[in-house]
Amino acid sequence: MDLARSTQGKRYLMYIAQNYSYAILRPLQQEILNNGGEVRWFLEGEEVNPDYLQQDEQRLHSIEDVRKWQPHASFVPGNVIPNFIPGKKVAVFHGFNAGKRVRRGQPGHFAIRGCFDLYCTQGPNTTQTFEQLAAQHKYFRVRETGWPAMDTLFEANPDNPYIDASDHRKTILICSTFSWRLSLAPKLLDTVRTLRDSGQYRILVQFHPKMAKDIVDQYKALQNSDLTFVETDNVIPLLQAADAMLCDTSSILLMFLLLRRPVVTFNNQTPAAHLLNVTEAEQVGHAIAEALSHPPELMANIEAFCQQLHPYQDGQSSARVLDAANDLIDSGGKELKRKPLNLLRQFKMRKKLSYWRW
């Protein structure tokens, strides 16, 4: 692929609604800029913090600004994008398929909402389903590219702020989704306190940005020299710093597994051989110790799972996404049917964005 030739002169919009989307799209932004394209950011809603924009990143403040700029393509690490945004719409996903929700018999990861022209899938275990859905709906393409957020995962980071070279204890990263039904956070507060007080590990805690404030405050209150609560728009350094993870059903555990490191889960909704799943708080400490021993069977199961989830370790997923988007732009996607009107969803998005021009 000649990315430089096909990217020069094109305009690409990063359409985001959550803070974690910055880290997902920045490797893709860098690939675009390296090949002569232009990038702008549009921040939808109040859950994304504009302060996380870097000084050299340019923001479009309104839908009218976006329409005047006329992007050739928009990249979306989310579920929807309005049809009144110009150009092709490319889904790059906000996480891996963690099997948390079911919609019409399909996990939520595979919900087709009629918004996208291209889905850039992460690995074989999602590509096949999306290809089947593409054959059924006929208005979008599917290209297996890997996930741009993973391009920096395997890079050495000598300035990682979460690594303490003077502390030789193992580091445990605790992550949790925000759903009360699925979250470990309200159920394991005392367990985490006991784990901290043992002094056996360095503990890092990071929660989904939608986690209830009272839960966040309780964990912040646990902070001392053994436990640090982290709020960040980029979890990659956290993942790189940890030796093992304690999690629930959050898709962040799948990112961590790609480092070929073990995960202990608490009441995971889809327990499997690549996880050490426990169902009682009293089992957590023993499971962490077992994980850190790297049982050969567990590690072999993790490797097999990663080959299906995201086999790419070359740091080139952003290049593949950009190539797929450029191919769609240049060809026009003439083989695709028109997307459904989605009148109710589009009305809701117009209302949310207060945009009523046609």
34 and 100 together in one domain: yes
Average pLDDT, integer, range 88-107 = 75
One-letter amino acid of 272: A
**Side by side, which strands form the sheet with 88-91?**
38-43, 11-16, 73-76, 88-91, 118-121, 141-144
Q: Given pLDDT bands bounded at 50, 70 and 90, which one contains residue 108?
A: confident
9 and 132 together in one domain: yes
Output the six-digit token pair for 7.
């990217």
Average pLDDT, integer, range 217-223 = 98
Confirm whether 159 is domain-assigned: no
Output the six-digit token pair for 86.
């110009």
304 and 319 together in one domain: no
Confirm whether 161 is domain-assigned: no
Domain extent, residue 95, equals: 3-151+315-353
- Specify the DSSP class assigned to residue 178: S
257 and 324 together in one domain: no
Average pLDDT, integer, range 275-303 = 98
CATH assignment of the domain containing 14? 3.40.50
Q: Given pLDDT bands bounded at 50, 70 and 90, which one contains residue 104?
A: low
pLDDT at 98 exceeding the cut of 80: no
Output the six-digit token pair for 195.
């784990």
- Please tell me the distance from the alpha carbon of residue 284 to that of residue 170, in angstroms, as a whole number: 16
30 and 141 together in one domain: yes
305 and 321 together in one domain: no
Confirm whether 164 is domain-assigned: no
Q: Given pLDDT bands bounded at 50, 70 and 90, which one contains residue 357?
A: confident
Select from 55, 68, 63 the least CA-distant residue to 11. Answer: 68
pLDDT one-digit tens code per residue, 41-69: 999 999 999 999 999 999 999 999 999 99
Number of domains observed in the structure of the chain: 2
CATH assignment of the domain containing 282? 3.40.50.2000
190 and 263 together in one domain: yes
Phi, psi for residue 330 in degrees, rounded to 5: -70, -35
Task: Name 323's Cβ contacts closer than 8 Å, sequence gap at least 6.
Answer: 1, 3, 6
Please work out, in degrees rounded to the nearest 5, the angle formed at the alpha carbon of residue 147 by the alpha carbons of 143 and 151: 130
Write down the pLDDT at residue 75: 98
- Specify the DSSP class assigned to residue 204: E
146 and 7 together in one domain: yes
One-letter amino acid of 240: Q
200 and 139 together in one domain: no
Confirm whether 262 is domain-assigned: yes
Select from 26, 48, 56, 103 the least CA-distant residue to 318. Answer: 26
Confirm whether 253 is domain-assigned: yes
Write down the pLDDT at residue 358: 73
Confirm whether 157 is domain-assigned: no
Write down the pLDDT at residue 136: 97
Confirm whether 108 is domain-assigned: yes
Average pLDDT, integer, range 165-183 = 95
Side-chain-side CA neighbours of 120 within 13 Å: the count stands at 33
7 and 135 together in one domain: yes
Task: Name 120's Cβ contacts closer than 8 Å, sequence gap at least 6.
Answer: 90, 91, 92, 93, 143, 144, 145, 320, 321, 324, 325
Write down the pLDDT at residue 99: 66
Cα dist. 278→45, 145, 248, 291, 336 in Å?
A: 37, 33, 10, 12, 46
Confirm whether 73 is domain-assigned: yes
One-letter amino acid of 262: P
Name the burial class of residue 133, with classes exposed (0-12), middle (13-18) and buried (19+) by CB atoms within 10 angstroms of its CB: middle
321 and 274 together in one domain: no
Average pLDDT, integer, range 215-241 = 96
114-128, 283-297, 336-350: the lowest-pLDDT one: 336-350
26 and 72 together in one domain: yes
pLDDT at 94 exceeding the cut of 70: yes
CB atoms within 10 A of CB 37: 22
Percent above pLDDT 70 for the chain: 97
Write down the pLDDT at residue 192: 98
Give the chain's radius of gyration (CA, Å): 21
Write down the pLDDT at residue 105: 52
pLDDT at 152 exceeding the cut of 80: yes
